[in-house]
Amino acid sequence: MLVTLSEILHKAEQGNYTVVAPDFTSMASIRFHLEAAEQFKAPLILSYFNHFEPLCPLHSWEKWINIIRGECAQYDIDICLHLDHGLTVEECRRAVDAGFTGVMMDASLKPFSENVELTSRVVEFAHAAGVSVEAEIGHVGTAADSTYHTKDSARAHLTQPDQAEKFVRQTGMDCLAVAIGTVHGEYIGEPRIDFALLDEINRLVSVPLVLHGGSDTGDENIK
């Protein structure tokens, strides 16, 4: 059944577990994710990135999303239909209108003040519709452009704890994506993940934390 991102993550905090958020590209991948999650009685954040819209099997994207909502409703587990890396306010608004139960406003490459302003705008209309909002402070890069933590000079990409606390307080968003050295895609060399930084952020921030980039992070690091 469909629930909000906040509902899933607050249950996870109370139960001391994490929730995976795989991106889907087709109805086949959606079915695979849902069947696996139900098999393990696990909640699921079913994520969608707008980059995949050309793969939409219907003429109408909105009708496809409605079909996905109907499919999710048939499973006896908590499911959040979540927009991953919404890059504009308009993308987030479209997802809210289409029936997503969580949206990410990713303005992490913008100046801090602009990130706050854009995220706050999304929070206003999303919360009015009963939808949760994720945002990012710091920046989780990709292997393709090497924008991730490989040496001390790259620390500018990482989340600064005091800034994270201020960002959450000023925006009213529901969960925070943080940059601690993980990367989207495959790493060049060994992952250098700053767990001490993660602990410090967690002590200061009042909302659940999100980690992007898991494909090549390694089982031990994930644990």
Residues known to be catalytic: 84
How does DSSP assign the chain, residue by residue?
Answer: -B--HHHHHHHHHHHT------B--SHHHHHHHHHHHHHTT--EEEEEEGGGGGG-SSS-HHHHHHHHHHHHTTSSS-EEEEEEEE-SHHHHHHHHHHT-SEEEE--TTS-HHHHHHHHHHHHHHHHHTT-EEEEEES---BTTTT-S-SSGGGGGGSPPHHHHHHHHHHH--SEEEE-SS--BS--SSS----HHHHHHHHHH--S-EEE---TTT-HHHH-
